């Protein structure tokens, strides 16, 4: 088997959030997938929402890349594996190009992936060139593809933007503001980010509108041969230690629907590598708990579906019997909220939930937790992140707390890991591949 794989690749970045990275990445993926090319898309940093759009656009699973959460070797392996089967690799950046430690620029430089900068040029002219120059030259040796002007007002506006570039070859085109019908945005948002693609019946139509717009730009008119200018060699990293089958012969039931949708594809992959058989169920659809040895309630939007969650009393009874039988349950963020006695919404109303974890969650208008975190579990350390608007007041015992990278856990800092019997719950979102042994412990694996 070859230890090298070459494939055209772009990291789609921007000077800040809200510039249109997700739209451009999804449009590129959709455009080339429609032309019969095999496109693989990644998301830089932890994100559950943008990947839904990229998966629909490309027709392939989307994985996160983060030099700290994944580790450089995991990132290298995923890029190598994708390059072996793809005609084009796309990586959507996070926040601004140089924001965070590690940043999207760090990822681009480490793996030699050229940066495509997307700039919201709606309120600028000559400054566009200065901004492009800064993004290109701020970090010496940064691989560079060019710049795409977004939300451009007219052809004359585009000419003004292009004239401001020091290097004419940096120009990859201009996009007008893309909308669908009378909607204010092509990809609508709410409090945790974009609305997931599977929640919109016209999601594919939205992607096609974006792809059609991009097709009129120099970037969108590039052929397969043209894309070879951005070919990158992705060598295979050294082999890692095999994952032990600590969940062999065990069935893990995973909640999955609009209320419980924050699931990394890589986490499901890790569970399978641990030997688990996965079965999925939908609390919103009224499903009962399938026969299983362990349950995972991932994060999502339980606060948007409180009445339907509370109404599934059969599932609540099943979960209670599961716990009474001494079987494990791992609940992350929204999954933990659903287990609480109640939740207070932003309008002040209090809604009952399943009541299997003591306490009440309160949905706030401001973020209550954000950023990469690490959590000690049974002598191992899980890496992941936190991102939530709600807070929880609970009397459940706290057995550990998460901490930021490079920081020791403090008694009142980080996210609490609650434990009641075999129930473990936290606002912490785990990247399972960072410690399969810790995951196996949470889900009752032998020897974990």
Residues carrying an active site annotation: 333
**What element of type H or E holds 172?**
strand 171-174
Q: What is the DSSP string of 255-314?
A: E-BTTB-B--HHHHHHHHHTTPEEEEE-TTTTPPPPS-SEEEE-BS-GGGSHHHHHH-HH
Burial level of 391, CB count in 10 A (0-12/13-18/19+)? middle
Which among 152, 201, 190 has a CA at the least distance from the CA of 172? 152
Give the integer Cα–Cα distance in Å for 416 and 357: 13
Name the region of 188 (left: φ>0; alpha: ψ -120 to 50; beta: rest): beta
CB 108 within 8 A of CB 89: no
CA atoms within 13 A on the CB side of 411: 0
**What element of type H or E holds 165?**
none
Strands (E), 324-439: 329-332, 340-344, 350-352, 357-363, 369-377, 380-388, 390-393, 398-401, 416-420, 423-426, 429-431
Q: At what angle do helices 127-137 and 155-163 cross, to 10 degrees?
A: 50
CB atoms near residue 139 (< 10 Å): 16
Count, residues in the chain: 448
CA atoms within 13 A on the CB side of 371: 13
H helix intervals, 149-278: 155-163, 203-214, 224-227, 265-273
CA distances from 416 to 212, 277, 400 (A): 47, 29, 6
Which tokens hold the place of 101? 């430690």
H helix intervals, 140-250: 155-163, 203-214, 224-227
Which among 272, 404, 392, 421 has a CA at the least distance from the CA of 332? 392
């Amino acid at each position: 088997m070859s230890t090298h794989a070459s494939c055209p690749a772009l990291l789609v970045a921007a000077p800040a959030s809200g510039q249109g990275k997700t739209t451009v990445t999804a449009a590129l993926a959709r455009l080339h997938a429609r032309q019969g090319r095999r496109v693989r898309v990644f998301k830089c940093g932890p994100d559950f929402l943008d990947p839904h759009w990229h998966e629909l656009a490309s027709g392939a699973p989307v994985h996160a890349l983060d030099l700290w959460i994944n580790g450089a070797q995991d990132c290298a392996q995923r890029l190598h594996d994708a390059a072996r089967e793809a005609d084009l690799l796309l990586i959507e950046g996070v926040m601004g190009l140089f924001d965070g430690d590690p940043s999207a620029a760090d990822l681009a430089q480490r793996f030699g992936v050229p940066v495509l900068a997307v700039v919201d040029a709606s309120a600028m002219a000559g400054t566009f060139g200065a901004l492009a120059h800064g993004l290109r030259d701020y970090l010496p040796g940064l691989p560079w593809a060019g710049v795409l002007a977004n939300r451009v007002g007219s052809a004359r506006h585009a000419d003004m933007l292009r004239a401001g570039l020091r290097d004419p070859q940096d120009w990859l085109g201009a996009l007008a503001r893309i909308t669908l019908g009378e909607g204010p945005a092509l990809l609508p948002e709410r409090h945790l980010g974009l609305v997931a693609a599977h929640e919109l019946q016209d999601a594919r139509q939205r992607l096609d509108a974006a792809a059609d717009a991009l097709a009129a730009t120099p970037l969108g008119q590039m052929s397969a041969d043209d894309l070879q200018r951005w070919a990158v060699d992705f060598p295979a990293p050294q082999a890692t230690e095999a994952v032990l089958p600590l969940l062999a012969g065990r069935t893990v039931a995973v909640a999955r629907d609009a209320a419980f949708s924050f699931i990394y594809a890589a986490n499901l992959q890790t569970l399978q590598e641990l030997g688990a058989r996965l079965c999925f169920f939908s609390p919103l659809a009224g499903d009962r708990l399938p026969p299983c040895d362990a349950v995972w309630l991932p994060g999502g939007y339980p606060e948007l579906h409180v009445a339907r969650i509370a109404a599934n009393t059969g599932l609540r009874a099943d979960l209670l019997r599961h716990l009474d039988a001494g079987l494990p349950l791992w609940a992350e963020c929204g999954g933990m909220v659903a287990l609480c006695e109640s939740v207070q919404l932003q309008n002040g109303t209090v809604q009952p939930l399943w009541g299997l974890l003591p306490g009440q969650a309160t949905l706030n208008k401001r973020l209550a937790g954000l950023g990469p975190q690490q959590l000690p579990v049974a002598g191992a350390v899980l890496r992941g992140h936190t991102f939530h608007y709600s807070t929880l007041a609970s009397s459940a015992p706290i057995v550990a707390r998460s901490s930021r990278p490079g920081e020791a856990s403090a008694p009142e800092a980080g996210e609490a890991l609650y434990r009641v019997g075999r129930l473990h719950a936290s606002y912490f979102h785990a990247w399972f591949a960072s410690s399969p042994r810790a995951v196996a412990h949470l889900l009752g694996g032998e020897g974990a």
